[in-house]
Chains A and B, each alone.
Chain A
Amino acid sequence: MSVQHFIPQTYTPQAFHRQAHEALDDPQIRANFRRAMDGLITKRRDVFSDWDLEALRELGANIRLRALAKLPDLLEQLEANCQANGIRVHWAENGEAACRIIRELCEARGAKSVIKGKSMVSEEMHLNAHLEEAGIEALESDLGEYLVQLNEQTPSHIIMPAIHLNTDEISEILHDKTGTERTRDVDYMTAAARAQLRERFMAADVGISGVNFAVAETGTLCLVENEGNGRMTTTVPPVHIAVTGIEKVVEHLRDVPPLYALLTRSATGQHVTTYFNMISSPRKPGEHDGPEEVHLVLVDNGRSGIYQDNELLDTLRCIRCGACMNHCPVYTRVGGHTYGTTYPGPIGKILMPHMLGLEATKDLPTASSLCGACGEVCPVKIPIPDLLVRLRKESVGEGRGNVPGAGVKRSRKELLAWKGWQWLATHPAAWRGSTVIAGKLRALTPAKLGPWTEYRTAPKPAKVSLHALVKAHREELAGEGRS
């Protein structure tokens, strides 16, 4: 089997083209993603078959829109209710500030060992590396995250972090890093990881988790999971720190069931996950388990910037289900690492430019055929293709200029080409003349047209344009009319 995946590699959005090239050339990666995405697409379709999906999506979009419309008020309400319940709330303008807050909370408890439940926000702010630097070991406990961490990689999918790895590769990683037997027995590997991680749950000083929905009305943190590691993380250690983006708040508790229904079905095609864990306070007097301290860290990290603009705002509706990547023909072929960003796939393409700037991410918004599959399946109806077009517009400097790095792709040469096209397409006589010339010169069409003709034959202009064909056709009809 191939060992190349075990070489730690740093992926960057700047190297998108090279990384895409490497992924496309890697049959293992291609096969792993294709198989996984095909399965997820089928499961999602089946699980929604007995639902009024459109009505549910409409409600989901509406709930998220309402939460965003009231966002500052809801954040204050969430904070007040959490604090009334005994949950301490912290605010961070960016990832670095959030890391600092979490590190200080750990240090205040003298924590050396942290166990983590799945949290994409913590990936976004590189929390593990930050804690390691401070001498605090942060261990991922979601099986996929654990495998990826053992392999010194980052997740390649927001819901299924190790989807790029197949059974043999995982067996090799576990053998290499933890000394288990080489095997294709998934139950054996799962049991081995269970045993390894149970020790760590017992020993951990702090548990860190993400949040799927934060309910303002009740001060409740909702966590969605199948494995039970999230419940372990939020129940066994004496301290629980939940970290979340500020957009994850919802207004009412009754807003949760529709979003939960959309999330699990869209993500993995499940009716429901094994656990839905709703946390509203630390351990109360008389209770025998659960953490003594619960903290909620609210992270902005670019979100309040996205919030300013009526069109870009839709980006913040996302509930992180991953359906857009499961259905994306580009993601399916290049995999998650190629994007070089925390969030890959369509949602990454519309989110990461705000976090990293368009200079670093300029190849992401263009890496889409705008096929619309992402927007079609999005449970909260984010118009992802429109947002991709908006970011392209910002890149070439024809937008509002309110995205970091706007105008980075402004190029005189390209603008001139489009201006030339504009002139021709607004001068009909010249346009018709050009099609005549193209028809006459068709024999001279080069057989090689850059990358297009590496894979396809070159299109040849027709001898006679449609304009000319229609003219002849009209004359023919007129002739018939006369006779």
Chain B
Amino acid sequence: MSAREIILKRLRERSDGPLQAPQSDFTVVTGRGWSPQERLERFERLITSVHGEVIHTTHAEWTKRLIELLAAKSIRRLALGHEHPVPVAARTALRNQGVELVDVDRDIEDWKREQFETVDAGLTSTGGAIAETGSLWLWPSPDEPRLISLVPPVHIAVLDADAIEDTFFDVIETHGWAGGMPTNALLISGPSKTADIEQTLAYGVHGPRELVVLIRHQREAT
């Protein structure tokens, strides 16, 4: 018998007999009923509490804020996609702005060291966010691969204010994740960090030292 058969047989023929599977009540992880404003405040409070930066802007203005941000952080080489409306708009706005736009639609094997050592920041879209934990969710794609939110020292994520939902459970249910998962789905809540040296927090241990979230509102906040 194979190991597989032996293990499954032992589990199936357990000496104390078959087990009853209980039903689950998921009430405690859903039904928050927060208003858009509460979601936004909670998201911002939590992600900034773990060293994330938040910049509020509008759909009309966000690329201006991006240009200012890149200048403020002295970002010269920015990795970004080609197809998603977010990188498309960014590419248009950043033409002739003195920032080198690094193509990411290349197999990692062909530019591993370049990505690890010469890219200052990665720009990505996001699928949305989770208010309860201050988390962004991303489904990396051929256009926006997995590593651009991880390898460069700064990750700039663009989030629409109305894409913030209450809980992780709500996101999974609302968007029907169980019906088809991508190669990689990610929650990102702040920059990379460690507390392995005597419980002292240090950022950027392996991934980005900085995470900046550009939150796009429909119109200017009043």
Contact = CB atoms under 8 A, between A and B. Distances in A.
Direct contact of A and B (CB under 8 A): yes
Interface of A: 32, 35-36, 39, 51-52, 55-56, 59, 62-63, 65-66, 68-72, 75-76, 91-93, 97, 141-144, 147, 160-163, 165-167, 170, 186-187, 189-191, 193-194, 197-198, 201-202, 217-220, 226-229, 231-232, 235-236, 238, 246, 252-258, 260-261, 268, 270-284, 286-290, 298, 300, 304-305, 307-310, 313, 402
Given A93-B3, A186-B200, A257-B172, A274 B184 contact: no
A72 B112 CA distance: 41
Contact of B177 (A167, A253, A298): A253
A254 B26 contact: yes
Nearest to A281: B183
B140 to A, nearest CB: 8
A56 B16 CA distance: 28
Nearest to B137: A276
A25 to B, nearest CB: 21
A167 B204 CA distance: 18
Contacts of A279: 183-184
Contacts of B202: 186-187, 189-190
B84 interface: no
30 contacts: A62-B22, A63-B24, A65-B19, A65-B22, A69-B19, A93-B6, A142-B196, A144-B196, A165-B198, A170-B197, A186-B198, A190-B194, A190-B204, A198-B116, A227-B194, A228-B206, A231-B207, A236-B112, A257-B167, A271-B189, A273-B189, A275-B189, A278-B181, A278-B185, A279-B184, A280-B184, A280-B185, A283-B183, A289-B146, A304-B7
B112 A202 contact: yes
The 6 nearest A-B residue pairs measured at CB: A228-B207, A144-B196, A272-B133, A276-B187, A69-B19, A69-B21
A284 B142 CA distance: 9
Contacts of A402: 15
A278 B2 contact: no
Contact of A66 (B24, B145, B206): B24
A69 B20 contact: yes
Most buried by B among A218, A246, A298: A218
A227 B206 contact: yes
B72 interface: no
B109 to A, nearest CB: 8
Contacts, number: 261
Interface in B29-75: 29, 46, 50
B25 A59 contact: yes
Given A144-B196, A287-B183, A288-B108, 7 more contacts: A51-B28, A55-B28, A59-B25, A65-B22, A280-B185, A288-B104, A288-B105
B146 A274 contact: no
A154 to B, nearest CB: 15
A308 B197 CA distance: 41
A232 B149 CA distance: 11
A92 B6 CA distance: 10
A191 B4 CA distance: 44
**Interface range for B:** 35 or more
Interface string B152-172: 000000000000000111001
Contacts of B3: 91-93, 97, 300
Given A56-B28, A56-B29, A288-B108, A218 B178 contact: yes
Contacts of A193: 205
Given A93-B7, A275-B188, A289 B145 contact: yes
A93 B12 CA distance: 15
Nearest to B51: A274
Contact of B4 (A35, A91, A161): A91
User: Is the contact region of chain B dominated by helix, strand, or loop, or is it mixed?
Assistant: loop
A42 B22 CA distance: 33
A245 to B, nearest CB: 11
A272 B189 contact: yes
B95 interface: no
Q: Among the interface residues B12, B20, B184, which one has the most CB atoms of the partner chain A within 10 A?
A: B184
A191 B116 CA distance: 14
Given A198-B116, A232-B206, A143 B197 contact: yes
B128 interface: no
A229 B205 contact: yes
A235 to B, nearest CB: 5
Contacts of B169: 254, 257-258
Interface in B96-154: 104-109, 112-113, 116, 132-135, 141-142, 145-147, 150
Contacts of A307: 10-11, 14
B134 A272 contact: yes
Contacts of A36: 198-199
A231 to B, nearest CB: 5
Nearest to B30: A257
A279 B139 CA distance: 11
Nearest to A93: B3
Contacts of A144: 194, 196
Nearest to A234: B184
Contact of A280 (B29, B145, B182, B188): B182
Contact of B183 (A39, A198, A280): A280
A348 to B, nearest CB: 20
Contact of A218 (B6, B133, B181, B194): B181
Nearest to A300: B7
Given A272-B133, A288-B145, A307-B14, A160 B24 contact: no
A184 B46 CA distance: 29
B221 interface: no
Given A260-B168, A278-B181, A304-B7, A289 B196 contact: no
A289 B205 contact: no
B34 to A, nearest CB: 13
A190 B205 contact: yes
